[in-house]
Amino acid sequence: MAQRPVTVVGLGAMGSGMAHALLAAGFPVTVFNRTAAKAAPLVARGATLAPSVAVAADGAEVVLLSLADEAAVTEVLDTVVQVLKPGATVVDTTTVSPQFARATGERLAGCGLHRVEACVIGNPRMAREGQLRILTAGDESIVDGVADVLRACGQDVRHVGPPGLASTVKLAFNLLLGVQTAGLAEAVALAEAAGVDRELLLDAIDNSGWRSPVLSFRAGYMRERRYSPAGFRAALMHKDLSLALQEAQANGVALPVVERAMQRYSDVLASGRGDDDAAVLAEVAQAPVAARG
């Protein structure tokens, strides 16, 4: 049975990976990215490259977004709401605030369109292999309507409740990722300052009870001291920790460890390495606490 067409907007590491997974599952895929060159490998596999986001979304039934932030989502939606097929569904995998997720869902509903909040957990390799874990929120009947698309991208699709909750859970996941990556970078700094070889330390951690898939993935970057292409850019980590802090403040919750970790990612951005993987923390000197005011 032929699969229905899917449009993918945003071909960063995760977006391009999901587009590859959709192609592998037999979906006709149209893609758009501001940097068109990123689409070349997908076009080689049979995807259609649209010259603009308006052309990509024109008459589409399902559009999957994988964008950097809320501003990018808003910019894209400003165009696609005018050209989407009535009743079409926007599957938004962008990490945004719960408030933005709810407001965007209401905006699309007002235009006769649907939004599926689909927060993805995993890395670019998992995205390409259709092995992501996907958290969905919102109207379950709408989510079920794009179950074929979600299953092509994820090994586990889990509905967590009303709009905004998938974004909350995703921020909780990324909060842990940001803090653990910062902790691993500081473990490396401590050991190397004392004369311990980085490779020895990381191998010891990787063969202990402290090992985790997340830390092993970041340790791979630290071991090679090569942080590009990034699995998760430091700039995006900083953005997500900022969103987590905003949500915590709105709910009267203090996150002091996250605040400190975000300062470390601020150091990375100040050093000009925001496009490197978040693991680059291991290479960026920590500013003295007193200098922060």
pLDDT digits (tens, 9 = 90+) for 121-169: 999 999 999 999 999 999 999 999 999 999 999 999 999 999 999 999 9
Q: Which domain CATH number covers 63?
A: 3.40.50.720
200 and 274 together in one domain = yes
Report the pLDDT value the prediction gives residue 2, as an integer from 0 to 100.
Answer: 66
19 and 150 together in one domain = yes
For residues 174-202, give the mean pLDDT.
97
Instruction: State the Cα–Cα distance between residues 252 and 102, nearest whole angstrom.
Output: 20
Question: Which amino acid is present at 55?
Answer: V
pLDDT of 287 higher than 70: no
109 and 189 together in one domain = no
144 and 36 together in one domain = yes
17 and 145 together in one domain = yes
For residues 197-220, give the mean pLDDT.
95
Instruction: Assess if residue 1 is contained within a domain.
Output: no
Report the pLDDT value the prediction gives residue 3, as an integer from 0 to 100.
Answer: 86
104 and 179 together in one domain = no
For residues 259-277, give the mean pLDDT.
97
Q: How many domains does the chain have?
A: 2
Report the pLDDT value the prediction gives residue 286, as an integer from 0 to 100.
Answer: 67
For residues 70-99, give the mean pLDDT.
97
pLDDT in tens, 95-109: 999 999 999 999 999
Question: Which amino acid is present at 129?
Answer: E
Torsion, Cα of 174, 180, 182, 186 (10° steps)? 180
Find the length of the chain.
Answer: 293
Q: Which of 162, 179, 199 is the last residue of a domain?
A: 162
Q: Where are any strands of DSSP class E within the chain? A: 6-9, 29-32, 48-49, 62-65, 89-92, 114-121, 132-137, 154-161
Please, which pLDDT band fits residue 288 given cuts at 50, 70 and 90? Answer: low
102 and 50 together in one domain = yes
Q: Which domain CATH number covers 204?
A: 1.10.1040.10
Contact 123, 230 (CB under 8 A): no
Residue range of the domain that includes 126? 6-162
Specify the 3-state DSSP secondary structure of 243: helix
99 and 56 together in one domain = yes
Residue 90 φ/ψ, nearest 5 degrees: -100, 115
Please, which pLDDT band fits residue 229 given cuts at 50, 70 and 90? Answer: very high
pLDDT of 291 higher than 80: no
For residues 62-76, give the mean pLDDT.
97
187 and 139 together in one domain = no
Share of the chain above pLDDT 90, in %: 95
pLDDT of 227 higher than 90: yes
Q: Which of 162, 181, 196 is the last residue of a domain?
A: 162
Q: Is the pTM of this model over 0.75?
A: yes
Report the pLDDT value the prediction gives residue 285, as an integer from 0 to 100.
Answer: 75
Instruction: State the Cα–Cα distance between residues 233 and 275, nearest whole angstrom.
Output: 5
Tokens 């090679």 belong to 224
Instruction: Assess if residue 99 is contained within a domain.
Output: yes
131 and 173 together in one domain = no
Please, which pLDDT band fits residue 293 given cuts at 50, 70 and 90? Answer: very low
Instruction: Assess if residue 186 is contained within a domain.
Output: yes
